[in-house]
Amino acid sequence: MRGGSWPVSQAGTAPAPSSVSPVRSQPGPARSGASLGCSACRWSHSGTGVCSTPGIKMLYLIGLGLGDAKDITVKGLEVVKHCRRVYLEAYTSVLTVGKEALEEFYGRELILADRETVEQEADNILKDADLCDVAFLVVGDPFGATTHSDLVLRAVKLGISYRVIHNASIVNAVGCCGLQVTLLYNFGETVSVVFWTDTWKPESFFDKIQKNKQNGMHTLCLLDIKVKEQSLENLMKGKKIYESPRYMTVNQAAEQLLAIVQNRRLQGEEPEVTESTLCVGLARVGAMDQKIASGTLQQLSTVELGGPLHSMIIAGNMHPLEIDMLKLFAVDESSFEDNECQRNT
């Protein structure tokens, strides 16, 4: 599999049929032989996503894609309908539809899994997953967050088999704006832009953006979301009172970046990223009402793209075709005629 992506792992692998060529297997205790798909039957059965080998039960991590209930893959839906328990991870990202819409389409009741459940009560999710199939649903692709890798490691430690069913994620879907997403070549390190507070205003992500910019590379900025978060006061008092959900918008992220640009100038630095740097704002990528806006960082600080989720790209050096594509979404086409844009080409 490309990029070290492994579909399944099981403790104690059944011998591999000689008619199937082996591929890289996933790590796991007491393994022998190679694995292709399901390590018990190697997916030589009916072709559905569910292992039909008697006695084999497992944890399924299923990507839901980016838009709505119908973005799940056919294989993922087959597994969801089959599993005894189905969890919906509900804090690293969100779809444009709610839990009820998913339940109606899947024909299954979903158990919401918030940050506390996944990070502190993972054993409850894995309970009896060696006796009955359990599904863990993730918006985008299952491995978009390190938390999900931790869940896999816990499963392996308990001797529980697991299978991953991938889907589209924001990392490849941002290509809809026209910037090339051959990430090994055109994009640098992805960064997260967090909400500032009155007393906490980190700038470390800006240094990574600048490094990418110096190398001529684009930067994908994943914008902060706050779901089921506690205020510092309630956290210190041990009160389980949660703040209303908040989702960072493109204009909020742009405003923070502009503030950092000003701070760096006050420190005697002339940053690589400035008010005239070309950027792209994206909202609800994959949904029917997705929106894209391209323009300078200053222009994106005033753009309104509607509801969540939002992402942002700081452009590096651009191919003429990339520029032509970005013009389709321009706040003001004259932004693409300034000196910076000519230098980037």
> Between the CA atoms of 295, 300, 306 and 308, what dihedral angle is there, to the nearest 10 degrees?
100
Query: How confident is the model at residue 31, as a pLDDT?
Result: 38
Query: How confident is the model at residue 136, as a pLDDT?
Result: 95
Q: Write the burial class of residue 340 (CB in 10 Å: 0-12 exposed, 13-18 middle, 19+ buried).
A: middle
The pLDDT mean for the chain works out to 82
pLDDT at 185 over 90: no
pLDDT at 342 over 60: no
Q: What is the mean pLDDT of residues 242-261?
A: 93
Provide DSSP, 22-68. -BPPPP-TT--S-BSSSTTTTT-SSSSSS--STT--EEEEEE-BSSS
Q: What is the mean pLDDT of residues 219-235?
A: 81
Distances, alpha carbon 267 to alpha carbons 17, 261, 263, 329, in Å: 65, 10, 6, 35
Q: What is the mean pLDDT of residues 206-222?
A: 96
Q: pLDDT tens digits for 60-117? A: 999 999 989 999 999 999 999 999 999 998 877 888 888 999 999 999 999 998 888 8
Q: pLDDT tens digits for 10-44? A: 443 333 333 333 333 344 443 333 333 454 454 44
Query: How confident is the model at residue 33, as a pLDDT?
Result: 35
Q: Where residue 226 falls among pLDDT bands split at 50, 70, 90?
A: confident
Q: Where residue 177 falls among pLDDT bands split at 50, 70, 90?
A: very high
Percent of the chain exceeding pLDDT 70 equals: 78
Q: Where residue 184 falls among pLDDT bands split at 50, 70, 90?
A: low
Q: What is the mean pLDDT of residues 210-234?
A: 87
Q: Write the burial class of residue 169 (CB in 10 Å: 0-12 exposed, 13-18 middle, 19+ buried).
A: buried
Q: Write the burial class of residue 83 (CB in 10 Å: 0-12 exposed, 13-18 middle, 19+ buried).
A: buried
Q: pLDDT tens digits for 305-321? A: 999 999 999 999 998 88
